[in-house]
Amino acid sequence: MSPQLVLRALIVLSGLTGLLMGEHRLAYYTSQSNIITLGYFGGVLYWMIRRRTTDPAAPRLRGAVTLWIVITGLISLFMLQHGANPLPGLTVADPATRVMNWSLFLVHYVVPVLVLTDWLAFGPRRVSPWRDLPLWILFPLAYGATSVARAIAFPTVSDRYPYFFLNPTSHGYGWVGGQFVKLGLIFAALGALLLAYDRLAARFPRRPDVTDAAGAKLPTRADAWNP
């Protein structure tokens, strides 16, 4: 069994378990990004097995999905939890709280780390051009804009402002706009780092045995770097 298949199966299993264990409303970016990730890697697994290959289907979409789910992990860790260690919450005495903490741990940390590992460890490389970067950051920014519009259109809806940086109550819409600009720049920088790593990794291709999705060795030839 190939390491690509194992890792991607873990991504799907972790995401599915995390979403089913707790209550995750669609109003939250965490839920949406995990559902997208689950759908993408579920499709990747299907086509890997169907085509007997380790290469992911729709490889150009892989970079966008990676950025979106990494954003989930970073926002949770630094903006919502302020860098607090999530591990102690996994062993709390109350069973209901412990289950919810495990659910959040899976969707906030485990899935993002596994997806980032997949990007760092495996190709194909140089599939996504630099011009894809603005498209990558479109989804998280559109999520924020539609969340604010939803709050204005439906002021009594539950979870009116899913995240504090979307809430204009205390600081006004100008402050929220500033948060959009700041986050947009951070997202663009993260996406640029992913693309830069992808280009760098392409310069030093590894030459392992090529296997199909079931782990059987396939005939191969030397791959030339595509500058």
Ordered mean pLDDT values, 10 residues apiece, the chain (227 residues): 96 98 95 98 97 94 98 97 96 96 98 98 95 97 97 94 95 96 98 97 70 52 35
Phi, psi at 217, each rounded to 5°: -70, 135
Residue 221 lies in a domain: no
DSSP 79: I
Residue 190 lies in a domain: yes
Q: Which helix (H) or strand (E) holds 146?
A: helix 133-153
Counting the structural domains of the chain, the total is 1
Which residues, in sequence order, are CB contacts of 195 under 8 Å at separation 6+? 63, 128, 130, 132, 133
d(CA 54, CA 135): 26
Residue 227 lies in a domain: no
> Domain range spanning residue 10?
3-203
Phi, psi at 208, each rounded to 5°: -75, 170
Residue 217 lies in a domain: no
**What burial class does residue 160 get, using C-beta atoms within 10 Å of its C-beta: 0-12 exposed, 13-18 middle, 19+ buried?**
middle
Residue 189 lies in a domain: yes
pLDDT of residue 1: 86
Tell me which residue of 52, 58, 62 sits closest to 1, measured CA to CA.
52
d(CA 85, CA 93): 17
Residue 165 lies in a domain: yes
pLDDT of residue 226: 34
Residue 188 lies in a domain: yes
Residue 184 lies in a domain: yes
pLDDT of residue 209: 47
d(CA 61, CA 223): 23
pTM of the predicted model as reported, rounded to 2 decimal places: 0.89
pLDDT of residue 204: 85
Q: In Å, what is the CA distance from 39 to each residue of 84, 94, 146, 184, 185?
A: 30, 32, 22, 25, 27
pLDDT of residue 190: 98
pLDDT of residue 22: 92
